[in-house]
Structure 1
Amino acid sequence: MTIANHSAEFVLVTEKNGIATITLNRPDMRNAINDQMRAELIAAFDTAGADKAVRGIILTGAGKGFCSGGDIGGMRARLEAPAGEVAFNGWRRQQSTHKGIAAIHGVAKPVIAAVNGAAFGLGLDMALACDFIIASENAKLSMSFIKRGLVSDGGGMYFLPRRVGLAKAKELILTGCILEAEEAFGIGMVDRVTSSSMLLEDAQAWAEELCVGSPAAIALTKAILDKTFESTDEQIFALGREAQAICYTTAEHRSSVEDFLSKAAK
């Protein structure tokens, strides 16, 4: 399966200049995540990750919102299950949720979340799982789980402190407050803010800029950097040594060295 024919009912995929744009496509439900969308999203990221023609990925939402979080209908169905099944059903659902977050965070290519509107709850967790976040000027962001009597279950308790610091992350999660795009930019929750009309164009340009290097070097660098806060300096050095040994064997490295030497000899 290629990117060109991958689009499904709730997740659309397009490609331009080596950048795949994955669009959550339930605009009438503010792109709330249900089981089918989650499965389609995982498949889209797996396909983009395996496609050598794709060098970077943009995640965005159709319509006026990025993603309003988990589908309330699914929450209602969960509560209506027999009491003896609620916990185990929830455990299985969490496995699926975490598989989706891992697909976003773990893909070996740069991923930009282009937040075009509201990103609440699981929607914000998904954006935080991306490497970078660019938000439109009218975006709103909230760790809204607390308002449903829930905890952040899509990696927000892991990703958010790494962006804004532990104390600020606690404040945002415990209050569920809503941030405007500029507020989120000011505390480092998002990396760039742009106009609504330029959001996808700016995300595309940024993604292309991030992906000019060797795919192997990019993938290895991303994998190591993602372990930085949990690892000792020697562990990171060791991973760097291993990665560099791999890079020495790549066609991109050989070509770069040969081009440099050729120009130097003239």
Structure 2
Amino acid sequence: MDSKPTEISSSKMFDGFNKRYRHFSPTLGCSMTFSIYFPPSPNPSDKFPVLYWLSGLTCSDENFIIKSGAQRVASIEGVALIAPDTSPRGLNVEGESDSWDFGVGAGFYLNAKQDKWKNWRMYDYVVKELPTLLSENFPQLDTSRASISGHSMGGHGALTIYLKNLEKYKSVSAFAPIVNPMNCPWGQKAFTNYLGENKADWEEYDATLLVSKFKDVSATILIDQGEDDKFLHDQLLPNNFAEACRSATVPLLLRMQPGYDHSYYFIATFIDDHIRHHAQALCL
């Protein structure tokens, strides 16, 4: 199967283009889609820095592109937006679609250790395969200048990937991230099934535990969290991460937003700040 990406849709927006692609992923063993927003380019030789967006539970590569409105400021700032899917699809593994918070649409951006879920390797897909694919097929993208962001499960992915790969990303931000998955039901379910019972394996994908290991974080971590988010107190636990950042002297800007929930209405409200946060880091 050809792993070279094939364009499957294109829509103009703010003088740039949203384009969607399909390719075969050797990492995941299935066909995958991803979306790119290319900002307008007066000079064809311009190369754009990239911002990876990792979506949350039940989402695909399309949710952020369709709902966030991020393209308006990305167009002005000259940042390309890269939105991968959230899990392998079409593998027909028994139980993969039994619940909305595990399996299809719920890859948790980790490399599974349990044999049944061996194709769930979204960490390697996001960190290794996708950047290589982009650099080899899209000369207008400068993948050496990259930042990462995400929402909920994707915020968990963005934070853990950033902390474990500080040399690869200029900055990180998140909306309502699952920051301490070892201590919440979503994380415990995913980690038990994907990784097994060894808690040392879980620690490799928990931002609250990882932040104490990587004290050379210099860029401020930006997190927005809605105060009316129904998942705030049992699943998201932002104060745990804030305390870990304080202890490790890692710079964190945690903004608690009164009245906002967990939805894309919340994301669309504050996405401009996040795009500018990353553009500043990417264009230094």
Q: TM-score, normalised on structure 1? A: 0.41
Q: TM-score, normalised on structure 2? A: 0.39
Higher strand fraction (1 or 2): 2
Max Rg structure: 1
Higher helix fraction (1 or 2): 1
